[in-house]
Amino acid sequence: MFGDEALARVSSPMRIVYGAGDRMLDAPAAASRARARIRDADVVLLDGVGHLIPDRAGKVGSFVRAQGRAGAEG
């Protein structure tokens, strides 16, 4: 687990995906904390999903493609 100061130093864009039904952590609180602390975080909280998130590759791939397009345009 990273402290708030460490999270605030993250400088690269990232997608963070939580399952709202995760029983290993308080996903809504973790998502809220990530949104507040990580400047370029795209935080997704999925309803009806637990700790094991199906189709992780698709969720990550769409983010990576969007970052590539943004880099090419900017």
For 12-33, write each residue's pLDDT tens digit: 888 888 989 999 999 999 999 9
For 28-67, write each residue's pLDDT tens digit: 999 999 999 998 899 989 888 888 777 666 766 777 777 7
Across-strand partners of 15? 42
Q: What is the pLDDT of residue 74?
A: 58
Q: What is the pLDDT of residue 6?
A: 92
Alpha-carbon gap, residue 66 to 73, rounded angstroms? 11
Is the pLDDT at 70 greater than 80, yes or no? no
Burial class of residue 54 in the structure, from the number of CB atoms within 10 Å of its CB (0-12 exposed, 13-18 middle, 19+ buried): exposed
Tokens 């308080």 sit on residue: 26
